[in-house]
Amino acid sequence: MTPKKIFAATGALALTATMALAAMDNPMVGGAEMYPEKNIIENAVNSADHETLVAAVKAAGLVETLQGEGPFTVFAPTDAAFGMLKDGAVEALLEPEAKKQLTQILTCHVVGADAMAMAIKGMIDDDGGMHVVPTLGGCELKATYSGDKIMLEDERGRVINVTIADVKQSNGVIHVVDRVILPPRP
């Protein structure tokens, strides 16, 4: 093997190892690797557990926003979380006439900051055990934690658990949650 070929092979191996290490820092979500150099949408579309969320983001016209610079923290409900809503609710929200309501619900899952779990816990500690998290949708979530588990309470008093924390993105972070966050009743 010539020195040029050895150098090329060594470079390719180093790049592969670097990419593998970067992916190892991020948890797998929905059976897919989450790459920290990709944005929220680029990663979410690969998660088998977030097909409903991706469809909802598309229906609400928020794809371009969540591909933007950010930073964003997204509390990303799984398909199972959407399945906990009343029968027919998801289908109704995906209708064009429900776009305003869908947009509000989705933006209640988004914070205009890059908040990793340890930072959230620090804010909770600084505030005496509960931190109010304002979302881009105008919702205020009450964040608490127990051990390593972060919980959010929406304005309807429903508890939402972070099931996978700190999924790094190029424009923020995703925390997978087990329930859909709902805005207060009108």
In a domain, 12, yes or no: yes
In a domain, 184, yes or no: no
Q: Give the CATH number for residue 13.
A: 2.30.180.10
Please tell me whether the overall predicted TM-score, pTM, comes out greater than 0.75 for this model.
Answer: yes
In a domain, 62, yes or no: yes
Band of the pLDDT at 31, cuts 50, 70, 90?
confident
In a domain, 183, yes or no: no
The total of structural domains in the chain comes to: 1
More confident residue, 115 or 11: 115
d(CA 25, CA 167): 9
In a domain, 117, yes or no: yes
**Is the bond preceding 96 in cis, omega lying within 30 degrees of 0?**
no
Query: 23 lies in which domain range?
Result: 3-177
User: Which residue, among 138, 108, 134, 110, has the nearest Cα to 123 in the 3D structure?
Assistant: 134
134-185 pLDDT tens trace: 999 999 999 999 999 999 999 999 999 999 999 999 999 999 999 999 999 8
